[in-house]
Amino acid sequence: MSSSAHSLLPRETPVQLIDPTGTPVPDSQFSAPAGDELVAAYGDLVAGRRINDQCNALVRQGRLAVYPSSNGQEACQIAAARVLRDTDWLFPTYRDSVAVIARGVEPEQAMVLLRGDWHSGYDPNEHRVAPQATPLATQLLHAVGFAHAAKLRGEDTVVLAMCGDGATSEGDFHEAMNFAAVFGLAVVFFVQNNEFAISVPLSRQTAAPSLAHKAIGYGMPGERVDGNDVAALMSVLGAAVDRARRGDGPSLVEAHTYRMLAHTNADDDTRYREHEEVQAWIERDPLTRVREHLRSSGLLSDETEARFTAAAEQTASELRDAMNAEPQVDPEDLFTHVYAERPATLTAQWQLLQDEIARTEAPA
């Protein structure tokens, strides 16, 4: 293999800058972010975990229809948001609410989709965050098209597109990767490999040595990173973003992580994975290791920790209040924006729904 082909290959072991006990790991290529940046990232992690926990509770209280949580994947979520400039764009999935919120979207706006009220609760242009995609891998094509347009306009916008391990088996993943590489677009494909696509394990998803190895087939570099190490994630993703901004094209970053909870509230994960496996990953919690590191190096004081916890509680409390208010939804919205001119079949359905509503609301 030529040396340039070698340079596209990921490492044998994922990049790690802080080990699970909080000890720094020296690396010849990547260096950890500065202390104050890492402290700020830890603050975001605390907020992200609190939002996850709150949303899981809101599902059980019937206030959210569904919440695909990122418990255990918060380091990926926070790093994805932090490596981008304000003018860059994020293309997230249903599981990436914490990244969306870390980018500046109000938590209650991010929950509109998951409450089932509307397709998206925020204006994508305001924070440069695309709507969260539920159909797997479709957002990768949108991201690539967006980056193509930015390049044609001569902008230096970088697009970070997120997906899961399961989504890498979709045709859309292949098309997006190939188009981005051929046209040299400023896209970072960020795969959160959490070992499962609902109940389907990674071993059923690919026979490749890693998902990052897929990159070389398209002619772009792939890298593997410890997905529970926020320092390594910020460094590796940051380098991929810099590369894209320089005009050197797309790359693929695979984060090795794990979802600590079931796929959603509609899934029973005890049917396809062992308690011991889950427990082993819980011990590799992304919050614990960076906290240990910051505490032992004297960078994180009791006061700062207390401030982070209080801010996270405040966010959770505001989200609870917003979700406990009854949403104002118009049932006719179901039929709006489907066709420019409403066809007779939809008019008949709307009539049916109106009759049903009248019956339900009629006094007994």
Q: Which residues belong to the active site?
A: 259, 263, 272
The interface region with ligand TPP, picked from 28-36, 181-189, 192-200, 224-232 by CB under 6 A, is 192-200
Closest to Mg ion by CB, 54 vs 194, is: 194
Of the candidates 197, 231, 261, 278, which one interacts with ligand TPP according to CB under 6 A? Answer: 197
- Count of alpha carbons within 13 Å of 252, Cβ hemisphere only? 33
Q: Which residue from 263, 256, 190 is spatially nearest to 228, judged by alpha carbons?
A: 256
Q: Is the dihedral of CA 195, 231, 241, 127 positive or negative?
A: positive
CA angle 262, 235, 139 (to 5 degrees): 50
Of the candidates 72, 164, 250, 286, which one interacts with ligand TPP according to CB under 6 A? Answer: 164
74 is a contact residue toward Mg ion (CB under 5 A) = no
Which alpha helices (DSSP H) does the chain contain, by range? 3-8, 35-60, 74-82, 97-102, 107-110, 112-115, 124-127, 138-152, 171-182, 214-218, 230-246, 275-282, 286-296, 302-324, 344-361
194 is a contact residue toward Mg ion (CB under 5 A) = yes
Site for ligand TPP in 116-145 (CB under 6 A): 134-136
Of the candidates 5, 34, 198, 329, which one interacts with ligand TPP according to CB under 6 A? Answer: 198
Query: In this structure, what DSSP letter does residue 177 have?
Result: H
Query: In this structure, what DSSP letter does residue 129 have?
Result: B
**Least Cβ distance, residue 257 to ligand TPP (angstroms):** 10
CA angle 48, 51, 52 (to 5 degrees): 85
Q: Which does 249 bind (CB under 5 to 8 A by kind): Mg ion, ligand TPP, none?
A: none
164 is a contact residue toward Mg ion (CB under 5 A) = yes
Closest to ligand TPP by CB, 198 vs 334, is: 198
DSSP secondary structure, 336-352, as one string: TTS-SS--HHHHHHHHH
Q: Which residue from 46, 105, 56 is spatially nearest to 323, judged by alpha carbons?
A: 56
The interface region with ligand TPP, picked from 83-91, 118-126, 194-202, 344-352 by CB under 6 A, is 194-202
Nearest residue to ligand TPP by CB is 164
d(CA 197, CA 212): 17
165 is a contact residue toward Mg ion (CB under 5 A) = yes
Q: Which amino acid is at 125?
A: N
Closest to ligand TPP by CB, 198 vs 357, is: 198
The interface region with Mg ion, picked from 79-87, 133-141, 192-200, 275-283 by CB under 5 A, is 192-200
Q: Which does 135 bind (CB under 5 to 8 A by kind): ligand TPP, Mg ion, none?
A: ligand TPP
208 is a contact residue toward ligand TPP (CB under 6 A) = no
Binding site for ligand TPP (CB under 6 A): 95, 134-136, 164-167, 194, 196-198, 263
Would you tell me which residues interact with Mg ion (CB under 5 A)? 164-165, 194, 197
